[in-house]
Structure 1
Amino acid sequence: MVRSYKRKTTPTYDLETLRKAESPGPPTVIDRENELKLANGLRVMEKYGFGLTSKETLDLVAVHVSENNYKTPFKNNRPGYDWFADFKKRHNLSLKRTQAVEMSRKVACDPFIVNEYFDTLDGVLSELNLKGRPDKIWNLDKSSFGKDTERTKVVGACGCASTRTIASSGKDNVTILFIVNAIGDKLPPLIIHR
């Protein structure tokens, strides 16, 4: 017995309509414009060292929803972690651990300070006749590892380095001093426990 099948025709799509279409699924509780403002605000806060945790972000959304009288399925007008997970996907955000850094180091990352440093370095290398003599240029760097490992996660853009927060030095540290010259020669590290 031979069966015959009707072939389904593929639908034709208007590319312009598809480009303008919103994402599939039900509309978001907060309109797209305000969600974009929130996502961009979170990125800026994180960039300048004031990243918000997921709880703080949800509290901020709850205040916005209450002040603007949105009709929401949220309990007490506060979204849950499912909404937050979808929000992060929609706006390419992620949770990341902060890196503790002292205020002096954070300020030293200013591009004007960095450029001034390299101008000064060039002058010093010329003055001391060290240009072209990498075996005479040594770099010492100390790293201190605190035993305080508990840090909170803050919201930030995907694919970017984690944010830094200002922190004081801890009580129990292990400090290591590394010494290397410009051609790669190294001295044994100095390790200090305290």
Structure 2
Amino acid sequence: MEAVTSGSSIREASNTFLVPYTTLNSHVNNEVLYDQVGRPTKFSIEEEVYLEQAVLALHSWGDPLSIEEFLHISEEYASSLNKSNLFPAGKPTYDWLRSFLKRHTNLILKKSYPLEKKRAALTSEQIEEWFGLLSKVIGENDLANWLAQLFNCDETGLSDSISYSKVLVHRRTSNAYRIQGGSGGKSFTSVMFCASATGFLLPPFVVYKSKRLYQEWCFGDHQRPIFLILKSNFLAKKKQ
């Protein structure tokens, strides 16, 4: 094709590159129809683009779709277009989803991690405000020269039941999160860590939801952590 475009005749290009004359002639004169190969898709190209945009929009809002949720949305969409009869089972299936993802390479399935609503609602302005306040406190109290008096404390929770469902996200997504209402699970253990700016670490503080403290829970802890048992996990409730 490039040779013909550069000035060679179709016959010359055919002999030079060993391409049948009729084939090359058809391509040069636009007599070849480049229709999509294979079985036609259930949705049109435009309709599938709408589905892809919906997935990306929900992902950008912090609420990516699981496989079941996407299939349900696709089923509702097919019903609104009177296309439910095009699917053998009357609704989109997992096989259709795999084909859909092959056609829309911007989307991938990725394992999600739970994210609490309060953490998801945190804004960049709030983070900047917090660091601004921290810098002000350090400056006013000359703590930059007294690092041993500067401590940071953080609490984390360990749940007995955390779901890691796969969700549809953009291909460039590093980590996928799904917003959840609470801590998840029935049992929740809270652990608090505190360390100074010099690296000195205080013993960890562990809160169990239990009526009694069992010795096997404390086995092997060389840093002598502090344990507290509560009938109901107060810290977990406060976080919710």
TM-score by length of 2: 0.62
Q: Deviations over 1:127-161 (max 9, x none)?
A: 11123544432211111101013454332223421
1:89 to 102, 106, 119: 102
Q: Deviations over 1:50-86 (max 9, x none)?
A: 3322122112212222322348641244121111012
2:196 to 174, 181, 185: 181
Partner of 1:40: 53
Instruction: Note if contact 1:29-1:70 (Cα within 8 Å) is conserved in structure 2.
Output: yes
Secondary structure, aligned partner of 2:71: helix
Partner of 1:105: 119
Instruction: Note if contact 2:75-2:84 (Cα within 8 Å) is conserved in structure 1.
Output: no
Instruction: Note if contact 1:145-1:174 (Cα within 8 Å) is conserved in structure 2.
Output: yes
In structure 2, C-alpha distance between the alignment counterparts of 1:61 and 1:120, rounded to whole Å:
47
1:74 to 79, 84, 87: 87
Structure with a larger share of its residues in helix: 2
Instruction: Note if contact 1:134-1:183 (Cα within 8 Å) is conserved in structure 2.
Output: yes
150 and 137 in structure 1: CA distance in 2 versus 1, 3 angstrom threshold = same
In structure 1, C-alpha distance between the alignment counterparts of 2:149 and 2:36, rounded to whole Å:
60
81 and 115 in structure 1: CA distance in 2 versus 1, 3 angstrom threshold = same
Could you tell me which runs of 5 or more consecutive residues in structure 2 were left unpaired when the two chains were aligned: 1-16, 210-240
The answer to which of 58-67 and 72-81 deviates more is 72-81
Partner of 1:4: none
RMSD: 3.2
Instruction: Note if contact 1:65-1:77 (Cα within 8 Å) is conserved in structure 2.
Output: no
In structure 1, C-alpha distance between the alignment counterparts of 2:35 and 2:147, rounded to whole Å:
58
Q: How many residues get paired?
A: 181
1:162 to 176, 180, 183: 176
2:75 to 28, 47, 62: 62
83 and 133 in structure 1: CA distance in 2 versus 1, 3 angstrom threshold = farther
Q: Which amino acid aligns with 1:116?
A: E
Secondary structure, aligned partner of 1:168: coil
Q: Identity of counterpart residues, as a percentage?
A: 27
Q: Which amino acid aligns with 1:192?
A: V
127 and 52 in structure 1: CA distance in 2 versus 1, 3 angstrom threshold = same
Partner of 1:5: none
In structure 2, C-alpha distance between the alignment counterparts of 1:172 and 1:135, rounded to whole Å:
36
Could you tell me which runs of 5 or more consecutive residues in structure 1 were left unpaired when the two chains were aligned: 1-7
Larger Rg, first or second structure (1 or 2): 2
TM-score by length of 1: 0.75
Whether 2:67 is the aligned partner of 1:49: answer no
Larger relative contact order (Cα-Cα within 8 Å, sequence gap ≥ 6): 1
